[in-house]
Amino acid sequence: MPDIRNDETVEAIAQAYTSNGHNKTQALISAGYDPVNADSGKGQRVYGNQRLIDAIAKIEAKTAEKGDYSRQGQLDKLEDIAEHILTSPAARVSAIRAQNSMLGYDQEKAPNEEAEQLRRKRITDEELAIAAQQANDRVEVLSGQVKLKTG
């Protein structure tokens, strides 16, 4: 397993992170971390390591110097196209989609009423009632209204 104390590991994570659109989990996997550990809180804590923070900042600074290309710069350009430049509607939609992609907003992750309705049609009324009761039980436990029994 990679070790964050190793300079090569730090560099590998920083390179992967800056080249994949700032996806922390995928960067850790690319650097050799186990996918389960990479997606866990333990894996994500490596991003608090000052050496890694510095390595990422160094790479992003070099990238910005080379071609004035940075994530924020690209987002600003896309925002300008989407909101201010009078172009075709298709170009505006394309700019907005690219901007959403850079920000990590995917349609699959957004609330989708149609998909929710299809899911509800697939489950029985009994299953729906059980799910509602379980949700209420969780709310009560989390709000401290009900104490969990310990053995």
- Give 33-70 pLDDT, tens digit per residue: 888 888 888 788 888 899 999 999 898 888 766 655 55
Q: With contact defined as beta carbons under 8 Å apart, do 25 and 39 qualify? A: yes
Helices (H), 1-111: 7-19, 24-30, 35-39, 41-44, 50-67, 71-83, 89-103
Q: What CA dihedral angle connects 76, 77, 81 and 84, to 10 degrees?
A: 50
Query: Which two three-digit tokens encode residue 84?
Result: 């201010």
Note the pLDDT of residue 18.
86
- Give 72-99 pLDDT, tens digit per residue: 767 777 777 777 766 677 777 777 777 7
Report the alpha-carbon distance of residue 94 to residue 117 in Å, rounded.
29
Q: With contact defined as beta carbons under 8 Å apart, do 55 and 14 qualify? A: yes
Q: Where are the domains of the chain?
A: 7-67, 71-108, 112-143
State pTM to two decimals. Answer: 0.45
Q: How far is CA 72 from CA 12, 38, 64, 137, in A?
A: 22, 26, 10, 43
Go through the chain and tell me how many residues it has.
Answer: 151
Note the pLDDT of residue 95.
75
